[in-house]
Amino acid sequence: MNAPVKPDAFRVGTGPVPDPNPPIIRFEQVGKTYAGRGAQGPVAALSGIDLDVPQGAIVGVIGRSGAGKSTLIRLVNGLERATSGRLLIDGEDVTGLTEAGWRARRRATGMIFQHFNLLSSRTVFDNVALPLEIAGTPKPQIEQRIARLLDLVGLADKRERYPAELSGGQKQRVGIARALASEPKVLLCDEATSALDPETTKSILALLKQVNRDLGITILLITHEIPVIKEICDRVAVIEGGRIVEEGETFSVLTDPQHPTTARFVEAVTGVEVPAYLAGQIHTQAREGDQAVLRITFTGENSTAPVISRLSSTIGIDVNILAGRIDAIAGRPFGSLLVSVPSQQPKLAAVLGALNSLELKAEVIGHVS
């Protein structure tokens, strides 16, 4: 991951500082407008996109269908062209590139797809060979490189099989091997795990992580699944209506979402819903003998502290756990817990005070009898 560029205190003069580690992909106010047909005017698919993809990072773009994420990822290999703004890849402005120029660039960019897009008429080996055939790589070299790639994705024994004989996960592994065949610097993943079951998704994400770590390939992925972001992305951008509404390090965006869209995405994974049997009974005003329902959010170091037992022993109350989830986001622990404690004061205030002192976020959702 990239360290943020620090202001250079010892700098003299006013010329621009060369960025010591420039992003491999940089969107500058990029927009994409489709010329409308007939009565339907022009449609803006993307507007004012600013996004940096640091070299060697895994960056995820999450959004619902129609948010513009497909268009965004296709700008990077010229399958779609920006209609405004600037797009820099590897320091080069590619905004005005011709189709022939793009073709050369595409040979240095891998892409994998939701529905794998493997040729049914070719064996696994020949599918992986396709980009090399297109680039005119000599046969012996193709043979050598593909053997290595099939080893990497764990499909060495399937080289003469046809895609129809493979499972979804195996097909995506072929897709990954094919995307890596031209030894790209950047791998674009278009909903690469959306057609796979959770178990297979995990193994494909692990493979992508391995590709990123061992081969140093930068990954830009788009998805509508927050688990994908949570699992492997260093940074995340949330896209809504063709605009990026939130962007940052995965852990901070997911644990402290600022935009309602982000919050909705995050809820499904990190938040804990009030169980249905309780939801109907919750009221806002505490009555005699009620229990207060609290949502405690754990982030960072205190997420592993024995909070509940500490509350019981220091304040002398019973803490009742209603629901909870402890998870890892971008490799750091994060959890949220729904508990009930006595509503009567001053015990409730003492509980909240104790949680605050541990720097845990706690909110009172309501009271139940």
Please state the closest distance from residue 335 (CB atom) to other proteins, in A: 40
Identify whether the C-beta of residue 172 lies closer than 8 Å to the C-beta of residue 112. Answer: yes
CA distances from 266 to 54, 64, 256, 338 (A): 24, 13, 9, 16
Instruction: Report the nearest approach of other proteins to the CB of residue 162 (Å).
Output: 4
As measured in angstroms, the least distance from the Cβ of 217 to other proteins is 15
CB nearer other proteins, residue 105 or residue 367: 105
Nearer to other proteins, 114 or 250 (CB): 114
Q: Which is nearer to other proteins, 99 or 288 (CB)?
A: 99
Query: How big, in percent rounded to 5, are the helix, strand and coil portions of the chain?
Result: 35, 30, 35
Of the pair 150, 226, the CB lying nearest other proteins is at 150
177, 150 Cβ separation under 8 angstroms: yes
- Measured between alpha carbons, how far is 12 from 31 in angstroms, rounded to an integer? 36
Q: How far is the CB of 97 from other proteins (least distance, A)?
A: 12
Nearest of 250, 179, 174, 170 to residue 212 by alpha carbon:
179
Tell me which residue has tokens 């189709």. Answer: 99
* Minimum separation from the CB atom of position 190 to other proteins (A): 9
Question: Which of 42, 300 has the CB closer to other proteins?
Answer: 42
Backbone phi, psi, residue 232, to 5° = -125, -10
For the record, the structure tokens of 77 come out as 């290999």
Count CA atoms within 13 Å of residue 289 on its CB side.
Answer: 1
Residues in contact with other proteins by CB under 8 A are 77, 79, 102-107, 109, 111, 113, 115, 117, 119-122, 130-131, 133-135, 162-165, 178, 182, 188
Shortest distance in whole angstroms from residue 70 CB to other proteins: 11
**Least Å from the CB of residue 120 to other proteins:** 5
Residues in Cβ contact with 102 at an 8 Å cutoff, skipping those fewer than 6 apart = 77, 78, 94
Cβ proximity to other proteins: between 184 and 366 the closer is 184
DSSP string, 205-236: HHHHHHHHHHH--EEEEEES-HHHHHHH-SEE
**Nearer residue to other proteins within complex by CB, 208 or 296:** 208
